[in-house]
Amino acid sequence: MNEHSGLTYEAAGVSIATGDESVERIKALAKSTFSPAVLREIGLFGAFYELDTTRFRRPVLVSSIDGVGTKLKIACALGVYDTVGEDLVNHCVNDVMTSGADPLFFLDYLATGKLQPEVVEQVVAGMARACRQASCALIGGETAEMPGFYQPDDFDLAGAIVGVVEREAIIDGRGIQVGDLLIGVASNGLHTNGYSLARKVLLDVARMKLTDYVDELGTTLGEELLRVHRSYQPLVQRVRTVQGLRGIAHITGGGIVGNTRRLLPPARSLRIDWQAWQVPPIFQLIQRLGNVADEEMRRVFNLGIGEVLIVAPQAAQACVDAATGLGLTSFHIGEVA
């Protein structure tokens, strides 16, 4: 008899039954985000979303895909999984909305060494919460059990989003001019970028524990690092029709300069006033404990600015007022040169 004749997929580390259980757990969560545009339940080979073409004369679909990086290591260490699901959706929503688009639907991908249905359920609960807040349907996804590739308690997470905008209403920086102002809107922490450096400095070099209460942060280190990536959807919905709004930059990996200059036409540059706002304590802590140079901090982290609006001078006050009306702090952080 062949000595391997008794092997099964489960013996190799993949449980189809556990995968089925995970799907059953998240079906209701996904359905809670559905609108009448979603035509079928979760479970088919593809998801169906009916675009309402009566709202648009020339609809343009806008898509983006992203992950939450090594912030997942913090979530796993603390056993808190719903916030990273919320992070993922908010990050993607912010990305497509820089063009002025409204999010339509979202799909996720979760890969792990050993599937734990209760963890999957918590992650998707966070996604569903963020999708409901964004009026975005969570219409599908993939959960992969990959023993030997990931450690049993590790997982990776990614998401793809599709939005829609009227072609004539696309915001892409095309009209940016010398003298336009940069309005920086506050972040609420690291969001989802720079965690590899943050973890290296805080956990490896400084030997801090995630459960440590840090006076200058006013909370534990773990709670600070798991702050949910802020959604700027309400702000964009208010400012996208302001005459003189030229461009919107979501400040993620690459920092303020790296992300904002994506929008600039040729022969334009940024003049940033780095003293225009107070850098939040978490970034100061990382820089001090890791002896990180200013230039590296500016390249890796958002430093307290999560979104930048590029506006004509006459439009600046309207955008500042919109942010203030939503309880968001904003700063004049520079101009186009």
Least confident of 11-20, 67-76, 99-108: 11-20
| Average pLDDT for 315-331 | 98
Question: Tens of pLDDT along 46-91?
Answer: 889 999 989 999 999 999 999 999 999 999 999 999 999 999 999 9
Please count the other Cβ atoms lying within 10 Å of the Cβ belonging to residue 218.
10
Question: Tens of pLDDT along 280-312?
Answer: 999 999 999 999 999 999 999 999 999 999 999
Type of residue at 280: P
In percent, the amount of the chain with pLDDT more than 70 equals: 98
Question: Tens of pLDDT along 210-240?
Answer: 999 999 999 999 999 999 999 999 999 999 9
Choose between 178 and 7: higher pLDDT: 178
Question: Tens of pLDDT along 135-175?
Answer: 999 999 999 989 989 888 889 999 999 999 999 999 999 99
DSSP state of 261: G
Backbone angles phi, psi at 230, to 5 degrees: -65, 140
Least confident of 48-57, 185-194, 232-241, 255-264: 48-57
Q: Taking 70 as the threshold, does the pLDDT of residue 262 lie above it? A: yes
Task: Assign 3-class secondary structure to 195-263.
Answer: HHHHHHHHHHHCCCCCCCEECCCCEEHHHHHCCCCCCCHHHHHHHCCCCCEEEEEECCCCHHHHHHHHH
pLDDT given at position 292: 98
CB 172 within 8 A of CB 247: yes
pLDDT given at position 1: 45
Please count the other Cβ atoms lying within 10 Å of the Cβ belonging to residue 149.
13
Burial class of 237 by CB neighbour count within 10 A (0 to 12, 13 to 18, 19+): middle
Considering the chain, what is the average pLDDT of its residues?
93
- d(CA 291, CA 297) in angstroms, rounded, equals 10
Q: 247: pLDDT confidence band, cut at 50, 70 and 90? A: very high
Q: Taking 80 as the threshold, does the pLDDT of residue 22 lie above it? A: no
Backbone angles phi, psi at 263, to 5 degrees: -85, -15
Q: Taking 60 as the threshold, does the pLDDT of residue 3 lie above it? A: no
